[in-house]
Amino acid sequence: MRRMRRVKILATLGPASQDPAVLARLFEAGVDVFRINMSHASHDGMRERVRAIRALETQYGRPVGVLVDLQGPKLRVGQFADTGVELVKGDTFTLDADPTPGDARRVHLPHPEILRALRPGHVMLIDDGKVKLRVVEAAPDRALAVVEVPGRISNRKGVSLPDTEIPVSAMTPKDRSDLDAALNEGVDWIAVSFVQRADDVAEVKKIARGRALVLAKIEKPQAIARLDEIIEMSDALMVARGDLGVEMPLERVPGLQKRICRMARRLGKPVVVATQMLESMITSPVPTRAEVSDVAQAVFEGADAVMLSAESASGQFPVEAVATMNRIAEEVERDPLYAGIIAAQRAEPERTGADAIAHAARDIAETLDLKAVVAWTASGSTGLRIARERPTVPVLALTPHREAARRLCLAWGLHPVVTEDARNGDDMANRACRTALDEGFAKTGERVIVIAGFPFGSPGATNNIRIAFVGQGD
C-alpha cells in the first residue's frame, strides 16, 4: 500500500462511507487519515467508526490515522412566530435577550455573551452570510442593527461575527464530553473548532495530555490576527476555508491559505487545506476544471494534506472523489516545476542538533541520489523534522510505537512503519535497509541514508546519521 505521492489525503466519514466495504475501497483509493465530524456523530457512532478503521489497519497491515473534529460553539438566532421573516435593506432589526418568538422587528439571540461583546459598527452575518446586519446601538441585553444585505432569516439560523471577539471558550460541554470519548477510544488527532486564541488550543492539549495531537482549525478573523501564537501552540493546522470565507472577504482566502501553509511549514507543523475541494463530486462523478486546479494549487503549495468533507461523507461518489484527488496529487508531483517550487519555499533549519541532522540528511540524500531517507523516530518528532525539509527522495519513518505511526499519516511524504526499536547501531542500519527493500523503496545494492538518536527510544534525541547499502550486512 505504498502511496506514489507525498501529500496526504484526509477523508470525512458519513452515511456514504460508513460501510466497512466502502471504507476499504476508500483506503485503497488513497485515504491516509479518516475524519469523524462530531457535529454529526454520536459517541457510539464515533466508536463504531474508529473500530472499523482499526480493523482496516489490521487487514492491510498499514497504520491509518483517525482525526476527531470537535463541533465547537454553534451561535444561532432563536425561534420566530411564523418560522421566519424577510428583512428589507435599510430596515432596522433587533436581536435581544427576550425568549419570546421573533417577528419582523426582532428575534431572540440566546447567547448573552454575544450581546455583551457587540459594539456599534460590528457586522453580523446570518445563515453563512446570506443576510448582513450592522450594529448601530448595543446594550448588554439587546443590539439594534441595520440591514445591509437583505434576505430571509428563519428559525435557528447560524450567526457569524467577523468583528467581534467572543469571550467564550472554544470548548462547549458537548465538546468536553466528545473529547473524553475520543481520547478513551485512542484517536490520533483532535481538531479544535472556533479557535480565537492560543489558549483555546492549550485548553484541549491540557485535557489530552499527549494522548492525541491537537490540530487548530483556522476559520475566524480573530485567529488570523494571532496566527503566530496559535501555530506555536498547535501540533498541526487546518485552513478551514468554508467558515473563513464567510467571516472574511472571499478574495482574501487564497492569500491566507498560502500564508498559513508557509508559516506552518517553517515551524514544522503539518497543515491541511480543507473545504469544497471537489464539491461538485457530491453529485457528479467528475469534478470541475476549477476544482482540479484548486487541489493542484494546494499540492504545489506544499500542504501536508488535502481534505474531502461532504464529498466522502454524504456524496454519491465518495470513492471516485478520493481516487480523483489521488490522481491530481500524483500528476502535480510528477510535474517538472513541482520540485523547484517546493525547494524555493525551504526555510533555514532551527538551531538544534536534531534539525541540523534532518537538514543534512535531505542534503546528502539529494546530492548522492540516495533512494530513501529512513528515520528512526520514537515520538514522531524526527519524522516531522524530515517532512519539514520536503526532500525529493522518499522518507520511511520507523517507530516502535503504533500511535506515533498513526499520527505521522498526516505529515507530508512520510511512509510510517511500525517495528521494534533498534538494539544497536548495526541493527539500526540493517533493519532500515531491510525495511526499505521490503517496502519497495530500494533494491539490493542501492543506498539509503539512516538517521536516529542515541540512546534509542529517547524522544527528540536525533544525533546520528549514516549511509548504508541495501543488501550488504542487513
Residues marked as catalytic = 35, 76, 217, 275
Q: How many residues does the chain have?
A: 474
Give the three-class secondary structure for 267: coil
Paired residues of 468 in beta bridges: 448
The DSSP output letter for 102 is B
Distance CA 140, CA 446 (A): 71
| Residues 56, 64 contacting (CB under 8 angstroms) | yes
Within 8 A by CB and 6+ apart from 335, the residues are none
What the block records as the C-alpha cell of 429 is: 542500519
Give the three-class secondary structure for 201: helix
**Amino acid letter, residue 164:** T
**CA distance readout (Å), 289 to 292, 293, 296, 304, 312:** 5, 6, 11, 22, 19
Within 8 A by CB and 6+ apart from 62, the residues are 1
Residue among 321, 305, 222, 229 nearest 271 (CA): 305
> Angle between the 353-367 and 381-389 helix axes, to the nearest 10 degrees?
50
What the block records as the C-alpha cell of 447 is: 543506498
| Residues 362, 339 contacting (CB under 8 angstroms) | no
Distance CA 442, CA 434 (A): 9
Within 8 A by CB and 6+ apart from 48, the residues are 18
Rounded to 10 degrees, the C-alpha dihedral 3/417/440/324 comes to -10
Paired residues of 159 in beta bridges: 126
